[in-house]
Amino acid sequence: MPAPTTMSSRDGALLLLLRLRTFIALFLVVAFFSVMAPNFISAGNALIMSKHVALNAFLAIGMTYVIVSGGIDLSVGSIVGLTGMVAGGLILHGLTIGDYIVYFNVVEIIGISLLLGVFVGAINGFLITQLNVAPFIATLGTLYVARGIALLSSDGATFPNLEGSAEHGTTGFPLIGTLGFLGIPLVIWLLIAVGVGAAYLGARTPLGRHIYAVGGNERAAMLSGVKVKQIKFFVYMFSGLCASIVGLIISSQLVASHPMTGETFELNAIAAAVLGGTSMTGGRGRIGGTIIGAFVIGILSDGLVMMGVSSFWQTVIKGLVIIAAVVVDQFQQRMQQRMAMQMRAQD
């Protein structure tokens, strides 16, 4: 009898470490770059990194619920670029309707851009739920379509100088990226608001419980009365909304829009979600873990840049992080299943 008890205690300790893997990874990357990268621990660098982390986190929050529901969204990076181009085009050139040009104020431009992200997400939802296209293929297709439209909107050129025109009432757009409150950038406050709202949605609302039910067992969820198609529509629209927020933030910070903005951002979003404990098989994941995962990915990216590591190697490292996170997640699931079987056998 003593041997099984010892083994059980050891397995329990290992399982705890696996569950805390995101915190451990965060501690390790911070410790590593604090030693290897000069000026890594400084107020200025922390402020810059927090803004970069926020961009990853917004995308990862939307991606989390997509993956939890059993899907994947490869289009988020292209939505970032398309949203920025639409906002930039409306600021500089307005909207041509026949012989007239209509200019919108900044609040209206922000609203239109956010709705565009939701619309692209709804297209993904329609392809997946109504036409039964696999999520990978559907979102891969919208990735190319959205990126192509972004390039066509300016023939591949950048929309520069987005300060706006007082004459047309389009001024104020750069404030999104520069405003702050209590010494904290507006971007971080937005992230806190979206993160808290998304976490509350998943933990405290029927909609959140239905998202997890769909990802855990779609057939069982359908038989229990969950509106599976509406749930999938929602998660892809929410992911599109999060991506459009990032597009607006980047264009505001740069005071310019480029059609290739957001390229490979979906890689960071998936990496942050998976590293934060979201299972690629669906049904499991938490927003808090995802945000910590975004910190790991953001700090890893900035730290590698400060060390002078090639961008090509950075891509390789991020890919390895995703693979490692999935392997560890699968190992954790097998351990939990084995321990559950042991407990049932003891009963």
Q: What are the 10-residue block averages of pLDDT along the chain, 347 residues in total?
A: 52 72 83 80 78 91 96 96 95 88 92 96 96 95 96 92 88 88 87 95 93 93 92 97 96 94 90 88 90 89 84 82 79 75 70
Q: Give me the number of domains the chain comprises.
A: 1
Residue of 241, 207, 199 lying closest to 75 (CA atoms): 241
Is residue 163 packed enough to be buried (19+ CB in 10 Å), middle (13-18) or exposed (0-12)? middle
Residues written for the chain: 347
pLDDT given for residue 1 in this prediction:
40
pLDDT given for residue 326 in this prediction:
77
pLDDT given for residue 52 in this prediction:
83
pLDDT given for residue 347 in this prediction:
62
Q: Please indicate, yes or no, if residue 150 is contained in any of the structural domains.
A: yes
Q: Please indicate, yes or no, if residue 155 is contained in any of the structural domains.
A: yes
Q: Please indicate, yes or no, if residue 36 is contained in any of the structural domains.
A: no
Query: Where in the sequence is the domain holding 49, given as residue range(s)?
Result: 42-335
Q: Please indicate, yes or no, if residue 2 is contained in any of the structural domains.
A: no
Query: Rounded CA gap, 317 and 107, in Å?
Result: 39
pLDDT given for residue 230 in this prediction:
96
pLDDT given for residue 8 in this prediction:
61
pLDDT given for residue 283 in this prediction:
87
Q: Please indicate, yes or no, if residue 56 is contained in any of the structural domains.
A: yes
Burial 212-232 (b: 16+ CB within 10 A, else e): bbbbbebeebeeeebebeebb
pTM for this entry? 0.89
Q: Please indicate, yes or no, if residue 262 is contained in any of the structural domains.
A: yes
Residue of 52, 44, 26, 63 lying closest to 271 (CA atoms): 63
Q: Please indicate, yes or no, if residue 179 is contained in any of the structural domains.
A: yes
Is residue 9 packed enough to be buried (19+ CB in 10 Å), middle (13-18) or exposed (0-12)? exposed
Q: Please indicate, yes or no, if residue 303 is contained in any of the structural domains.
A: yes
pLDDT given for residue 40 in this prediction:
76
pLDDT given for residue 71 in this prediction:
95
pLDDT given for residue 5 in this prediction:
46
